[in-house]
Chain A
Amino acid sequence: MNLNIKAQEQNTYDAIVIGSGVSGGWAAKELTEKGLKVLMLDRGKPLEHVKDYDTATKDPWEFKHRGRITVDQRETHPKLSRDYPYSEHNEKFWINDAESPYNEVKRFDWYRPDIVGGKSIMWGRQSYRLSDIDFEANLKDGIAVDWPIRYKDIAPWYDYVEKFAGISGTKEGLPQLPDGQFMPAMEMNCVEKDVKKNVEAKYKGRIITMGRVANITQPLPGRGSCQYRNLCSRGCPFGAYFSTQSSTLPAARATGNLTLRPDSIVNSVIYDEKLGKATGVKVIDKHTREMVEYYAKIIFINGSTLGSTFVMMNSVSTRFPNGLGNDSGVLGKYLMDHHFRTGASGVAEGYDDKYFFGRRANSIYVPRYRNIGNDKRDYIRGFGYQGGASRSGWSRGIAEMGVGKDFKEMLTEPGHWSMGLGGFGECLPYEDNRVTLDTSVKDAWGQPVLKFDAEFKENEKKMRVDMMNDAAEMLEAAGIKNVKTYDNGSYPGMAIHEMGTARMGRDPKTSVLNGFNQMHAVKNVFVTDGAAMTSAACVNPSLTYMALTARAVDYAVKELKKGNI
């Protein structure tokens, strides 16, 4: 008995954070800095900053397959190997699909990391604010539910997280893409500068700006500025982009209040029926397979959109037979991702005497302009573009005809300039785009798996026509030649912007979380990753998770001190 009490005490913290990615790292930082003893759990293996980035400084020829993956890796990673992010350059960072399977009624590409730091290590780093155009959209369109917050609620928290994370970019004064606390922007190349000038002259309401990116252009404490290697997804030895390891983890550790437990698969949240609160979590040790319990006053679920929803769905009690906090029945529903892989590109002539130096880990950005102001389309919401210009290198020789001396000499010089724009479009929240728990299949630890049933629908399909044609028209208007459009098709999950499935809302009957990312029905549980999103907007979402997390922690700790949770 005494032993049990002692063991329980040893496993008790003030707060538990499930997941150590973008939002989990922020939760741990904020909670520890406010004096709470925090246990941060991650199913991934340990990954020490710099020391464990073992491919970060390798030269191209040091990779046996020059970045490509093998037939054997395709077998152990049947779903991850469908697209480019899983590569020889960082293959250790990704989960083994075969050990952790999932089911698809319809194709869904689910990119899961297997490291502490989660996807904050491999993320695309584009960092944009949502605006009131986004927060008011569901209400105005009469779809799904209204966001319980507005821009003014989150704006100071965007300021707060941007200053710490370090975002480089340019202020543009646009209502649909609010400005932030920026470090100096990266530079555009010659072609991009001219395309910008021409597009802005010809199209009222359309601008081209430098990508707002979480790569720093001025040093921060403990972090160096971007070295323009463009090898970010291997982990940055300079700490030049925001990741848990470069930014939030050192801050959390510095408080002395953090315990980090890697290799910890969270099975479920423990709900106490008498107290009406969550009291802890059940964790499977990845290696020993032993089930361990940890206890805390506050639980932050930051396991990534679908990892978090899995934990909630798998946390079944008498009070919550359909998953923790799921009185509304919306848990798992309204799954969203951005749709992309469509746009246009062409050749920029007259720049043969121009080149660039360095590899910019960033693209240019065209903020949304559709369905804004007086613009009305046959679909609702909108899209932004990422893109850029570049001079082609040796790889043009693969498609082009040629062998021998002259061909080789030609390939040792840069080729033509080209410029492309690729759209990222908003996906509406649909009730029937959903995940469910599938108990007919078990992962390597005996847990049920997620089953995906989601697709892009008519609104997205109509939007894609504009995404493709507008890109071509703008490029042509800017003087780009031989413009070709493309639509390579986009399956949900591919943009790795999965959102929704435990949405925020005003009404407990139609949402899982309130305006502070707090569970309506379980006041000491907070979900502050992509699962909380009520609508998707068209901008890259991670910055919003950071801001929502910092805001939710501030609220949670105040509530804790008041004795409300």
Chain B
Amino acid sequence: MHRRDAIRNVAILLGTAISASTLSALESCTSAPKNYELQKPETKALLAEIAETIIPKTKTPGAKEANVQDFIIVMMNDCYKKEDQQVFLDGLKKIDAASEKQFKKGFMDITPDQRTQLLTQIEQERVDYNKRKDKKEGDPTHYFQYLKELTLLGYFTSKPGATEALRYVAVPGKFEGCIPYTKGEKAWAM
């Protein structure tokens, strides 16, 4: 919305006529936040970038490489009720809207640093919401709770997450209750 208005204003400023087709092209690519649906490819693409922003590739694989986007869609489809799915999908719209407001671009079009900045703000909002004093039973879950939780679950229990970002020992074969630990050593995967 903002970006289209901005371009239109620029066009007016420059005294240029913008054709109807140009306007409609702007409409389709950067218009009001999309209506996300779990089946749409753009939903998966957005989830991949959100998850990658939460758990980026470092020396070890990031969320995208662990296919966390696919996992989130499976979980949302199978394990959450319609109402919860709606909170989640509306949340994706809110992320786009917040991105438009702050950076005049949708989440897909901003830089990785901008994504981290934006999601850090939303993360703060989630944490504040979870700590609110007027909690009631039946309050909706904050949409970013789903994204954070499913990204972490999906990543750290994935093969790349468990075996590369963490240490996975399928059959320990013994138990040692008290061994030395040096900072920097990876945690056990489970």
- Which A residues fall within an 8 A CB radius of B? 57, 59-61, 64-66, 68-72, 186-190, 192-193, 226-229, 352-360, 391, 393-395, 397-399, 401-405, 407-409, 411-415
Contact = CB atoms under 8 A, between A and B. Distances in A.
A367 B78 CA distance: 43
B79 interface: yes
Interface in B117-175: 119-120, 123-124, 127, 130, 148-149, 152-154, 156-159, 162, 165-166, 168-175
A412 B53 contact: no
Contacts of A229: 170-172
Interface stretch (B6-14, B31-39, B99-107, B178-186): B178-186
A228 B180 contact: no
A184 B119 CA distance: 51
Contacts of A190: 177-178
Contact of B152 (A68, A352, A355, A411): A411
Nearest to B168: A59
A359 B169 CA distance: 10
Contact of B74 (A65, A186, A413): A65
A402 to B, nearest CB: 7
A70 B186 CA distance: 32
B119 A355 contact: no
Interface stretch (B40-48, B55-63, B86-94): B55-63
Contact of B181 (A404, A407, A414): A414
B156 A411 contact: yes
B171 A413 contact: no
A403 B123 contact: yes
Contacts of A405: 56, 58
B177 A193 contact: yes
B177 A66 contact: no
Interface of B: 53-56, 58, 60, 71, 74-75, 78-81, 116, 119-120, 123-124, 127, 130, 148-149, 152-154, 156-159, 162, 165-166, 168-190
19 contacts: A60-B190, A61-B158, A71-B79, A193-B177, A193-B178, A228-B172, A228-B175, A358-B172, A358-B175, A393-B187, A398-B149, A402-B123, A404-B54, A409-B58, A411-B156, A412-B166, A413-B184, A414-B181, A415-B187
A408 B79 CA distance: 26
Given A59-B162, A411-B152, A227 B173 contact: yes
B189 A60 contact: yes
Given A60-B190, A65-B75, A66-B154, A401 B127 contact: yes
Contact of B175 (A61, A356, A411): A356
Contacts of B159: 59, 61
A61 B164 CA distance: 13
Nearest to B173: A227
A227 B185 CA distance: 23
A391 B74 CA distance: 30
B175 A187 contact: yes
B175 A352 contact: no
Given A65-B75, A352-B181, A398-B152, A408 B58 contact: yes
B171 A353 contact: no
Contacts of B152: 394-395, 397-398, 411
Contacts, number: 157
A354 B180 contact: yes
Given A187-B175, A227-B172, A413-B184, A61 B149 contact: no
Contacts of B176: 187, 356-358
A264 B175 CA distance: 41
B53 A192 contact: no
A352 B186 CA distance: 13
Contact of A394 (B78, B156, B183, B185): B156
B179 A408 contact: no
Contacts of A359: 172, 175, 188, 190
Contacts of B170: 57, 59, 229
A196 B39 CA distance: 54
A188 B175 CA distance: 9
Contact of A355 (B55, B153, B158, B179): B179
Contact of A71 (B80, B116, B169, B180): B80
B119 A71 contact: no
Contacts of B123: 401-403
B29 to A, nearest CB: 27
A59 B58 CA distance: 24
Nearest to A414: B187
B166 A70 contact: no
Central interface residue in B53, B178, B189, by most chain A CB within 10 Å: B178
Contacts of A414: 181, 187-188
A192 B79 CA distance: 37
A172 to B, nearest CB: 19
A404 B186 contact: no
Contact of B187 (A69, A403, A413): A413
A189 B177 contact: yes
Given A186-B175, A357-B179, A408-B165, A68 B56 contact: no
B188 A393 contact: yes
Given A69-B79, A395-B152, A398-B153, 16 more contacts: A60-B162, A71-B81, A189-B177, A228-B175, A229-B170, A353-B182, A359-B188, A393-B188, A393-B190, A397-B148, A403-B53, A404-B54, A404-B120, A412-B187, A413-B185, A413-B187
A229 to B, nearest CB: 6
Contacts of A188: 177
B174 to A, nearest CB: 6
Contacts of B75: 65, 68
B167 to A, nearest CB: 9
Contacts of A353: 180-182
Contact of A227 (B53, B60, B71, B171): B171
B172 A403 contact: no
Given A59-B162, A61-B158, A404-B54, A355 B79 contact: no
Contacts of A395: 152-153, 156
Central interface residue in A65, A397, A403, by most chain B CB within 10 Å: A403
A64 B74 contact: yes
